[in-house]
Structure 1
Amino acid sequence: MIENRTILIVEDEIRTRQGFLKTLEAWSAGRYRIECAESGQAALLWLEHHPAHLLVTDIRMPGMTGLELIEMQQRHKHCNPVAIVISGYAEFEYAQRAMQLGVVNYLLKPVDKHQLVQAVEQALMIEDSRYRIETMEKLIDPHLLDTKTTRVNYNPLIRDALVFLDEHFHEPITMRQVADRLHLNPSYFSVLFKEQTELTFSEYVSRLRMQRAKELLLHSGLSIAQIAERVGYQTDKYFIKVFKTYEGLSPSKYRSQKK
């Protein structure tokens, strides 16, 4: 489970709020940042300046309900925490609306310590999964995704070329080599490849290499030079130049920013 996450407790009853805070701080043992807000309005103000990864909120509060808080947060903020709602009222419409808003758990008061901790652990696991999925989605090149989803309609020779490139992009491969493999004239292959994929041969290979490089930058401890070699570049200098062209920053800066 990813640490250094922030949990925001929103509860207007001070004794309940302090009880939740004490329970989660003891359970967290410093792994997570635990914050509190006494109302929906105070929570929104806090969220304007801080990210939260999990929202634990009462439903019935003066001024703004917990469900209204979640709805407003989803509508106006880029950061969209998973949420647990707590209520003293076992009313179907609350649970139904909570589900519509994507709330991951619905607890009825009184909430004991074990129940709260269990719900928080489950919610953080869901948040971790969402985070990893979002991270992977950001790594995927939309142009490459298009070729993956539409290649079934491509010329069989181009489909074969794409499969070969997917498996051998880390090698010092040329367009002529692939054309020869398919028994095609290189010029004709170049035109056909661009016509089918809407990318030049060299651009497609570069995008494959950049996508794999981003995965290695985020999920390995390899050096820039090692990654350059792994994705098919003979020098890290040229790899850095190409990476900057596609991502707008150096591989080392990309790694530090994304991590």
Structure 2
Amino acid sequence: MESGGAVLIVERALGNNNDRKHIDALRENGYTVNTIARGTNPVPMMSELNPVAACFQYDYPDLPGLADLQNAKQRVPSVPILMITQAHSEALAVWAFRTRVWDYFVEPVDINRFLAVVEVLAAVRQADARTPGRKERGVASAPYRIPAEARVRPPDTPSTAQTRALENALSFIDRHLHEKIAQADVASICGLSPFQFSRAFKRHFGTTFQEYLLRRRVAEAMHMLKHPGASITDVCYNVGFRDLSYFTRIFHRYVGEPPREYRERAKISANGKPPELPDPEQVLSLPMRNPKH
């Protein structure tokens, strides 16, 4: 099989029980996989190989491991970074996207979505190779501070059962974002009744489950629309919408403009003329906009 390019796996797990199926899937689909062991600086190999992506893999992210990712993004901004974590928190996901991580996965990794993201990155890399002199997109010079709450603790750290259940809900959403997600099913997975789950989710996150789910889908869509090779229809279905007109309406509601206009402005931003383009993670916290149609 023809090689799809090189992908770096940057090991930053504290233990040895990470999911490896996505690595096997990369090899099966023609990608060359290089591994960088924990404690080894990934920057030299990222600079030398110029891979399709550098995939930072964690079980319970600690301060040194997150600092390594942040440093790598600053030193080699042209290499897209994917983040895979066994443990998940909202603060960790927000920090990752603010650090300009290309995409964020929670174990067990959704292999189809993972391969789809890598395929898009490979296509972008090939397009860049055919366009000499294209300006690479940089990152903000001032790194975001790694918040204490983003350093996800191992499972033996005391926490309430309900908080753990709600973190499971966010992990489930991230893993199944491209599918239909019913609130009753998520409540059952968390060991709560629909009524208990609804009240706990609203109290903990300050928004309803359905509101968060829509915002999460739109945030992912904003992220994907920055990829030159992704069509609006593909993005619609990949983030869990099943109707293009409904997706367009919901996207407009939260972002303030339809997907097509947002994508065009993203292209302008990528070419070095940055308009005021909202970050995807902002949709998870900003008040909903109500544009006139």
TM superposition score category, shorter chain reference: 0.3 to 0.5
Q: TM-score, normalised by structure 1?
A: 0.42
Bigger radius of gyration among the two: 1
Q: TM-score, normalised by structure 2?
A: 0.38
Of structures 1 and 2, the one scoring higher in RCO (CA 8 A, sep 6+) is 2
